[in-house]
Structure 1
Amino acid sequence: MPFKRYVEIGRVALINYGPEFGKLVVITDVIDQNRALVDFPEQERRVVNFKRLAITDFKVDIKRHAVKKDLKKALADADVVAKFAASSWGQKLAKQAAKAATTDFDRYKATVAKAKKARAVRKVLNGLKKTAAPKKK
């Protein structure tokens, strides 16, 4: 099966390791076979190793070393951030972030709700089993 995600100028990537974990960036230049120059409107331009990047399906149309104004316009035109958030990958990351932000009390409430639901399901199931069971002679 051929590759669909290539490292190229304008390719949107996700940082998968380090202090910027989970942030989207755009590849603005390829330095060598191991590193790329990445940028995003709210972040500073920096060099990142390819091992720390996860390439996405999204691409914006920019030139090499695009200035922030052009990058911001291209991202707004392509609506990349919203498309990524709507993708299954973005939803999975949002779900992980929400779970990591829960408190002990939130986890307790979820456990109680799960147990309550399980009791209701078990009660209905046992009732169905009683009515469906054949009578013994």
Structure 2
Amino acid sequence: MEDWQKSFFEMLEEATHEVEQFFIEVTEEALEAVDAFFELSFELSEEITAQVQNTFVNDLDRFLNELVEPMFDVYLELEELDFTDQPDQYVHYVEPTSQKHPACMGCRNYHGHVYGGNLLVCGMHPSGWDDANCPDWETH
């Protein structure tokens, strides 16, 4: 009778060992699958990050080329101009006199600034009024 009990316990021990081996193998396979998943996720994440960075860099480069670069070019051109050589040529004030723009003397609409060599007399009559009686004259 002891033989079948001994065989039973050996068989039970063998079954326990086989089940334990099965779970060890399943765990190892699951860990490999999880590692592969995270590795793939990491690679995809790196790929997506690279694409986003490339898109951002391309958009920034296009922005700089289309908007900022022309403004920078204008700035450089302005920097090359020397406004101190002839300040009167750019903006200055001209008083009306009895010989030049007599209709504007004492008028609140008179502007009298010269821009780039062009006198702006007033908003209604940019070149001034021909005779001494302007219809838009207003006192200060």
Q: TM-score, normalised by structure 1?
A: 0.24
More strand by share: 1
Q: Which has the larger radius of gyration?
A: 2
Q: Which has the higher contact order (CA 8 A, sep 6+)?
A: 1
